Amino acid sequence: MSESTKPVTAIKAPVHLEFSYTAGRASTRFLHGMAEGKILGQRCPECGKVYVPPRGSCTICAVPTEAEVEVTGKGTVTTFCIVRIPSDSLSIDPPFTCAHILLDGADLPFFALIQECPFDEVRMGMRVEAVWVPKEELGPTFESIKYFRPIDEPDAAFESYKEHL
């Protein structure tokens, strides 16, 4: 016997799908590098651009990138944003700053967290370095790098990163 006499206006239609991804050749190399405390990129044989993290292809030349290049964890903030919106999925409390970081020797910036710096002092051109997890915690994951922190170097000149904005 149904309890409700109100007309039905909706149905529950939940979706649940499970996937198993493999990392792909370029990402696999990169992630194994992470496990060894190294940052690996790939260079395009045609235009010479270095992709960190590598994707296996040069997005401009549409050719495979295979030549491996190791870069240090030092780089420049090319742009940044201050996160203020709280969310259950955040592991740190806002406000905090994330930035695009162009590692020395790479041609593509990537997105990372900035810490050990007041959130409102992050600036374009700021020089930073990667802070890794303790050696015994290194693994094939981007999370081997905890975050980036400022280093004691003068800000990079705008000319040096203006093509990478």
Size of the site for other proteins (CB under 8 A): 39
Tokens linked to 16: 């649940």
> By CB under 8 A, is residue 57 in contact with other proteins?
yes
> By CB under 8 A, is residue 45 in contact with other proteins?
no
Question: Would you say the C-alpha torsion 43, 46, 48, 49 has a positive or negative sign?
Answer: negative
CB of 157 to other proteins, least distance (A): 25
* Residue from the set 36, 45, 48, 63 that interacts with other proteins by CB under 8 A: 63
**Helix (H), strand (E) at residue 34:** helix 25-35
- 55 C-beta neighbours (distance < 10 Å), count: 15
CB of 14 to other proteins, least distance (A): 5
Name which of 8 and 85 has its Cβ closer to other proteins: 8
- 96 C-beta neighbours (distance < 10 Å), count: 18
Name which of 26 and 40 has its Cβ closer to other proteins: 26
Terminal Cα distance for the chain, rounded = 64
Binding region for other proteins (CB under 8 A): 2, 4, 7-28, 31-32, 55-64, 139-141
